[in-house]
C-alpha cells in the first residue's frame, strides 16, 4: 500500500479509484486487530473534500468560501483547504492562531463571532485579522477600544419562517429594523462598516431561506448607503448540506438571488462560511461491538393476575463510541440525515432485528440510536457510520476514560496526483 506524508503528523494512504470503500474499512479494522487494538476509528477521504471544493466553484463561482473551522478543526482538513485556496471563518483566538500557523494570509480569515472576548479582539489586531462581524452596540465599543481600524460586517437575523435543521434563534444577528440605529452608532464612533453577514442555520434543504436573507441584506445595503457608508461585502454564512442532490438546487436559488440583488456590476464581494458542506461526507466512523444483550423482557400479565416475562426479539449493542464522543451531535439533532449504519460483515441475507446502539460510558442516557434494523451481530463485529465529518470530532470528551477514535486518511491516487504533482516535486506544507 502506498502512503504519502501530508505534513509531519499525517500519512495518507493512496488507493485506486476502483477500490470499494468497505474493503478499506475491513482492511483497517483487520490491521488494528493484528495490533490487538479495538479503538473506534475515522476514515477520512481527503479526495471527497477536493470534490466538494470543485462542486462549490462550479455552482457558486461568485461566492468565496471561508470554511467554518468549528465544524471540524482536524489539522489535515485545514491544511488541505488552505492548500486549495479556501478562506477560513474563525470564532476564537485559538481558531485564528491555528490558521495563521498554517501560513494562511490574515486577509483569508473572517472573525465571524458577534460577541467576542476583548482579549480575542486584541489578538485579531495583533495578527491583522481585520474583517469581523458584530450585531450590537457594546461590541462596537469594544472594537473601537481594541481594533478601531477593523472592517466590520453587520450580522442580521435570517428570516425565521423556513425549515432548517438547526436554527440559531435569537442568539446572533440584529433585526433588520435595528440596522440603521447600529450603523449610526458605528458612524459616530468612526468605525468602518463594510457589509452585511447572516447565517441562516445549519442544514438547509430549501434555497428560499437564502433568497429571503439576500433580499433583506439588500435592504440594509440601501440604508447603509443612505447613511454614507460604502458597503461592498456580503457574507451569506453557512448551512449548506454536501449531498449534490440537495446542494445543487439550493445553490441555484442562492445564485439567482445574488444575480438579482447583487449583480456583478455592483462590484460587491460575495463570501460564505460553509462548515458541514466541506467535511460531512468525507468522514466515516467505524465502531466495535464491545457487549451485547437481549432487550429487557416485558413484564406481561396472563389476565389472571399472574405476571410473567415476555422475551422481545430485539438486541442491544454496546459500542466503543457514544454521545459523549463522536455522536454528541445526535443529542443536538444535527447528525446527518443521510447517515448510513452499515455492519461491516453482514451475514448474507441475514434476518434483521430491531436493535439499539448504546455508547460505552456509564451514563444511562448514552444511547446513540434505538429501533434500527440490523442483522444479529456478535461481540467484536464492527459497524461503519457514514457522513460523520460535521460536528463530531470537535464535540468529543474523554468522559469515563473512553479514548477518542483514531483517525486515518486516504485519497484516490489520481486526485492526489492532481493536488501534488510528483513531476513538479511540490513540497507538502510542513506544518
Ligand atoms: C457554525 C457556523 C457556520 C457553519 O455552519 P454550517 O452549517 O456547518 O455550514 C458558519 N457561520 C457561522 C457564523 C457559524 O456559527
Each residue's pLDDT tens digit, 68-122:
999 999 999 999 999 999 999 999 999 999 999 999 999 999 999 999 999 999 9
Angle between helix axes 75-83 and 46-59 (nearest 10 degrees) is: 40
At what angle are helices 137-146 and 179-189 packed, to 10 degrees?
20
Active site residues: 362
Question: How many angstroms separate the alpha carbon of residue 381 from the centre of ligand 1?
Answer: 36
- Ligand 1 centroid – CA 379 distance (Å): 38
pLDDT at res. 279: 98
Percent of the chain with pLDDT over 90: 82
Least confident of 161-165, 170-174, 359-363: 161-165
Question: For position 1, what pLDDT does the model report?
Answer: 72
Atom of ligand 1 nearest to the CA of 197: 13
**Nearest ligand 1 atom to alpha carbon 276:** 8
CA 68 to ligand 1 centroid distance, Å: 6
Q: How far is the CA of 4 from the centre of ligand 1 (A)?
A: 31
Residue 260 pLDDT class (50, 70, 90 cuts): very high
The answer to whether residues 168 and 209 touch, using CB atoms and an 8 Å cutoff, is no
Grid cell 440594509 is found at 220
pLDDT in tens, 369-427: 999 999 999 999 999 999 999 999 999 999 999 999 999 999 999 999 999 998 655 55
Res 13: pLDDT:
96
Work out which ligand 1 atom sits closest to the CA atom of 133: 13
Place of cell 441555484: 252
Nearest atom in ligand 1 to the alpha carbon of residue 273 is 10
Q: How far is the CA of 318 from the centre of ligand 1 (A)?
A: 32
Please name which of 398, 390, 368, 394 lies closest in space to residue 289, comparing C-alpha atoms: 368
**369-380 pLDDT, tens per residue?**
999 999 999 999
pLDDT of residue 430: 52
Question: How high is the mean pLDDT of the chain?
Answer: 93
Spatial separation of the C-alpha atoms in residues 404 and 391, rounded to whole Å: 14
Q: How far is the CA of 58 from the centre of ligand 1 (A)?
A: 21
Q: Select from 242, 241, 397, 402 the least CA-distant residue to 328.
A: 397
Nearest-CA residue for ligand 1 atom 5 is 238
Contacts of residue 367, Cβ cutoff 8 Å, sequence gap at least 6: 322, 323, 356, 357, 358, 359
Q: Which atom of ligand 1 is nearest to the CA of 172?
A: 13
Nearest residue (CA) to ligand 1, atom 13: 112
**Residue 329 pLDDT exceeds 60:** yes
State residue 288's pLDDT score.
97
Q: Does the structure show a pLDDT above 80 at 167? A: no
Instruction: Pick the closest to residue 28 from 428, 405, 291 (CA basis).
Output: 405
Segment among 163-167, 188-192, 326-330 with least mean pLDDT:
163-167
Choice from 49, 199, 333, 394 to test ligand 1 binding pocket (greatest atom count within 8 A of CB) = 199
Say what the pLDDT of residue 186 is.
Answer: 98
Which pLDDT belongs to residue 207? 94
Residue given cell 464612533 in the structure block: 189
User: What domains are there in the chain, each with its CATH number?
Assistant: 2-45+283-416 (2.40.37.10), 46-279 (3.20.20.10)
Between CA 118 and CA 143 the distance in angstroms is 8
Cβ burial 284-316 (10 Å sphere, 16+ → b, else e): bbbbbbeebeebeeeeeeeeeeeeeeeeeebbb
pLDDT band at 168; cut points 50, 70, 90: confident
Contact between 368 and 319 under an 8 Å Cβ cutoff? The reply is: yes
**3-state secondary structure string across the chain:** CEEEECCCCCEEEEECCCCCHHHHHHHHHHHHHHCCCCCCEEEEEHHHHHHHHHHHHHHCCCEEEEEEHHHCCCHHHHHHHHHCCCEEEECCHHHHHHHHHCCCCHHHEEECCCCCCHHHHHHHHHHCCCEEEECCHHHHHHHHHHCCCCEEEEEECCCCCCCEEECCCCCCCECHHHHHHHHHHHHHHCCEEEEEECCCCEEECCCHHHHHHHHHHHHHHHHHHHCCCCCCEEECCCCECCCHHHHHHHHHHHHHHHHHHCCHHHCCEEEECCCHHHHHHHEEEEEEEEEEEECCCEEEECCCCCEEEECCCEEEEEECCCCCCCCHHHHHCCCCCCCCEEECCCCCCCCEEEEEEECCCCCCCCEEEEEEEEECCCCCCEEEECCCCCCCHHHCCCHHHCCCCEEEEEEEHHHHHHHCCHHHCCCCCCC
Pocket of ligand 1 (CB under 6 A): 68, 70-71, 89, 112, 199, 202, 237-240, 273-277, 390
Pick from 237, 276, 277, 280 the residue to mutate for probing ligand 1's pocket: most ligand atoms within 8 Å of its CB.
237
Amino acid at each position: 500500500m502506498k502512503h504519502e506524508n501530508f505534513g509531519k503528523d499525517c500519512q495518507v494512504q493512496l488507493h485506486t479509484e476502483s477500490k470499494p470503500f468497505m474493503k478499506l474499512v475491513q482492511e483497517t479494522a483487520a490491521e488494528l486487530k493484528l495490533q490487538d487494538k479495538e479503538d473506534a476509528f475515522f476514515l477520512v477521504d481527503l479526495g471527497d473534500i477536493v470534490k466538494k471544493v470543485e462542486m462549490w466553484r462550479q455552482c457558486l463561482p461568485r461566492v468565496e468560501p471561508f470554511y467554518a473551522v468549528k465544524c471540524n478543526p482536524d489539522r489535515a482538513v485545514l491544511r488541505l483547504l488552505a492548500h486549495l485556496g479556501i478562506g477560513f471563518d474563525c470564532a476564537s483566538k485559538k481558531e485564528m492562531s491555528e490558521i495563521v500557523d498554517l501560513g494562511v494570509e490574515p486577509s483569508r480569515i473572517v472573525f465571524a463571532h458577534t460577541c467576542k472576548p476583548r482579549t480575542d479582539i486584541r489578538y485579531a489586531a495583533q495578527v491583522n485579522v481585520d474583517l469581523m462581524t458584530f450585531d450590537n452596540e457594546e461590541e462596537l465599543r469594544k472594537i473601537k477600544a481594541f481594533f478601531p481600524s477593523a472592517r466590520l460586517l453587520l450580522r442580521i437575523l435570517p428570516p425565521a419562517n423556513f425549515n432548517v435543521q438547526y436554527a440559531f434563534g435569537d442568539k446572533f444577528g440584529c433585526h433588520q429594523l435595528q440596522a440603521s440605529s447600529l450603523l449610526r452608532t458605528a458612524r459616530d464612533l468612526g468605525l468602518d462598516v463594510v457589509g452585511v453577514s447572516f447565517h441562516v442555520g445549519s442544514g438547509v434543504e430549501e434555497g428560499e431561506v437564502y433568497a429571503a436573507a439576500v433580499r433583506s441584506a439588500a435592504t440594509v445595503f440601501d440604508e447603509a448607503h443612505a447613511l454614507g457608508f460604502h458597503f461592498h461585502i456580503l457574507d451569506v454564512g453557512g448551512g449548506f448540506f454536501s449531498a449534490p442532490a440537495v446542494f445543487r438546487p439550493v445553490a441555484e436559488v442562492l445564485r439567482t438571488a445574488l444575480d438579482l440583488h447583487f449583480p456583478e456590476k455592483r462590484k460587491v464581494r460575495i463570501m460564505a462560511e460553509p462548515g458541514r458542506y466541506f467535511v460531512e461526507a468525507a468522514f466515516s466512523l467505524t465502531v466495535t461491538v464491545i457487549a451485547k444483550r437481549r432487550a429487557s423482557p416485558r413484564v406481561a400479565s396472563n389476565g389472571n393476575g399472574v405476571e410473567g416475562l415476555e422475551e422481545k426479539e430485539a438486541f442491544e449493542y454496546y459500542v466503543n463510541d457514544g454521545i459523549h464522543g463522536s455522536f454528541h451531535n445526535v443529542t443536538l439533532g444535527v447528525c446527518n440525515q443521510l447517515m448510513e449504519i452499515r455492519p461491516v460483515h453482514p451475514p448474507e441475507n441475514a434476518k434483521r432485528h430491531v436493535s439499539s446502539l448504546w455508547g460505552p460510558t456509564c451514563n444511562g442516557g448514552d444511547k446513540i440510536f434505538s429501533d434500527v434494523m440490523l442483522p444479529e451481530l456478535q461481540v467484536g463485529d464492527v459497524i461503519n457510520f457514514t457522513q460523520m465529518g460535521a460536528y463530531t470530532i470537535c464535540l468529543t470528551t474523554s468522559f469515563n476514560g473512553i479514548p477518542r477514535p483514531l483517525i486515518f486518511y486516504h485519497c484516490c491516487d489520481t486526485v492526489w496526483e492532481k493536488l501534488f504533482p510528483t513531476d513538479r516535486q511540490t513540497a507538502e506544507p510542513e506544518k
